[in-house]
Structures are given as structure tokens and as C-alpha cells.
Amino acid sequence: MITVVGSINLDLIANVERLPAPGETVPGSTFRTAPGGKGANQALAAARAGGKVRMVGAVGKDAFAAEALALLATGKVDLDGVREAAAATGVALIFVDGKGENVIVVVAGANGTVLPGDLAKADFRQGDVVLLQHEVPLETVETALASARAAGARSILNTAPFRPEAAYLLAMADHVVANETEFDLYADALGLAGGGREERMRAFAVQTGRTIVVTLGGDGVIAVEGGRLLRVPALKVTPVDTVGAGDTFCGYLAAGLSEGLPLEPSLARAAAAGSLACTRNGAQPSIPLRAEVEAALGT
């Protein structure tokens, strides 16, 4: 079982010719909504990778809740751990200009009410995989990491978004997944020794005994497991929309590890899935099915 503890949002996306200045109103050309939230995105990716997935989170008692959960329900993600909160469903307000630049405002809403008590429905067990991010209260992330270890479950912490006060959590996870910018910031916060990124990754692995995975966009992924450095390339694609690619990677990585695959083939499959996600628009709609990933890898 893969349990994802994290955020559930509805993305509200408006396209404009140019982004407005403070106090300015500009006309928009199109508007659409799409399910989002890092937790929900990762849960759907793990399910599309073939995993048995349970989601722990919260939505509001409003009209946005059903749409935010729609693709998770279609993907057969277990939603018994998703609670209705008095707060509104979390939203991301996204403006995208004609050059593809964007500004985003995230309102946590119900995600901010996901507290340690909500983990009672998680029922972590030995051999499970627990996947977490930083879009719910950090006390909940910390409790989930400790509970997973106590139960003999394997934990994966995606360190997004960067929160300097969360640096201490990295050493609590079995696998840490960060993009290159996030890792560099956390390396500074943790005072990791070394002159370059790979040296600092090795320092983290030696210091904590944990596995560190750093995604590099189109350049693939590097990881340090024990004393071993792994490099896995991304697929060569023409990106259309990179939103959700990192979440796709995390969900597929969780599914691979849940199946008992070693780290390197799990990374290869996750990197390929993340690459394919960049070829389509939207976060959740862009997540590929397992058969598509296997076809792209030639397996």
C-alpha cells in the first residue's frame, strides 16, 4: 500500500496576454479549472503507475471539492482518509501570459487543517510506502515520518515547496526527493560540507544514512544511496507544460519502490514518466499511464 499524506487543490487557471501590474486590470483570453495539489498529483501518479494508493488529506464542504477529487476517484485512489473540513477547498490561482510566464497564489484552505490526528486512518504497516510533501502543516509531516518508521514502512519526503524551517525533517525520511534548487537551499540550511552539489549529496547520505534524490529537469536525475552515486537520464522530449512533472516523478518512484524494485530501475521509470508528463498540458491530466511509460522505455 502507498499512502500519500498531502494537499488537495483545485487549480483556477486564466490565460492573459500579459501579467497585470499592481492595481491594474487586464483582460483574460481563456479560463479553466483542473484538479491539483502536490499530494493529490502524486497519489494519482502512483495509481497510474499501478500502485494501490490511499490518500490522506482534507477538502472543504464546497462546490470545488468534488472536482478536486474527481480524477483521484476515477483512478481508484482510496479516499476514505480524505476529511471534509470547515475551511474551503485549497486553491491555486494561476495567471499565465502569452510567453508562458506565470504568477501563482496558493490558498491552503482545508489543507492547513490536516493535523496529526488525521493519520489515525492511515494505518501504516510494515512494507508500506508513505509519500509526503510540504503543503500540509509540518507537524503532520513530522508525525507521519515518525509513525512510518515505527511501523516499518518506507517513507519518501518530497521537499517541495522549500521551507527553511522544514530542513530538520529531511533526516527523518528514508528517501528525500528534491529538485536542484531545493536541494541547494536545504544544503545551505543544513550546513552540508562540500564544494559542489554531488559532494554535498554524498555528505547528506553519510551524515544521515538516508537516500537523497535530486531531479534535474531535462538532464535527468542523480541520487546517492549508501556510498553509491546513480545517474539516470530523462527522455528526450519537447516540453509543452512542465507543471506536475515533479509530482509525476514522485508518484512513480513510490510505486516502483512499493513493488520492490531496486532504486535505479525505479528512478528510470519515474524519470521517464516525468518526461512524458511534460508533453501534455495540466498537472493531473498530463500524468501518463504505466503502459505508456513502459512503451517509452522499450520494456
Evaluate whether 263 touches 223 at the Cβ level (below 8 Å).
Answer: yes
For 215, phi then psi, to 5°, come to: -90, 145
Of 226, 225, 278, nearest to 249 (Cα)?
A: 278
Measured from the Cβ of residue 238, the count of other Cβ atoms closer than 10 Å reads 6
* Chain-centroid distance, C-alpha 79: 18
- Residue 144 in 3-state DSSP? helix
Q: Enumerate residues 6+ apart whose C-beta is below 8 A from 95.
A: 14, 15, 16, 19, 20, 102, 103, 104
Strand partners, 35: 10
Of 237, 229, 243, nearest to 293 (Cα)?
A: 237
Q: What residues are labeled active site?
A: 247
Evaluate whether 276 touches 237 at the Cβ level (below 8 Å).
Answer: yes
DSSP string, 7-60: --EEEEEEEESSPPPTT----EEEEEEEEE-HHHHHHHHHHHTT--EEEEEEEE
Of 31, 28, 30, 33, nearest to 18 (Cα)?
A: 28
